[in-house]
Amino acid sequence: MRTYGIYMDGKKSGSVKTNDIHGYASKVCPQGYKVDGNKLIAGSISFGEAMAIGMKKVEEQERAEFGTYAAHQPNHEGFKQLGKLDDYAYQSLVHMQTAAHHLSWALTVLDHADVPADLQEEVQKFVRQTATISTELQDWLRDYTK
């Protein structure tokens, strides 16, 4: 097994241990990827491309009954395809990494907002604190993935 750092938008968002990085990446990076040494670098996609991929997946899968876990969990079908439906620690890590990615984008778009500097600094402080805690918790949680 080899450990690879996962990078999105130039920032490390987690890591994965695998013997087949290309098999793993092709499942979790539909927008493309590249491997550079021990780094898995996820490609960026536009919002429109992401929506098209998501809509295609929705059309391809059977609809789960409304109100069930499967009907509402983000990326449920992806976890199913990876054989991770019963690995809740892994699922939690993926959701935490997605949240970190969204927080990073929140800062990116905030740079273009007309808001007071002290408000922008407070948001940046919140995101940094959250990212630090998230990274520490993710490292701890990885010990419990199957």
Q: Report d(CA 74, CA 92) in Å as an integer.
A: 11
pLDDT in tens, 21-57: 887 777 777 667 788 898 888 766 454 555 555 556 5
pLDDT in tens, 81-101: 888 888 888 888 888 888 888
| 0.85 exceeded by pTM | no
Q: Report d(CA 38, CA 2) in Å as an integer.
A: 8
Mean pLDDT across the stretch 136-145? 84
Does position 130 have pLDDT exceeding 90, yes or no?
no
Q: Which residues contact 105 (CB under 8 A, 6 or more apart)?
A: 9
pLDDT in tens, 9-22: 777 877 888 888 88
127 vs 13, which has greater pLDDT?
127
Domain boundaries, the chain: 1-45, 75-146
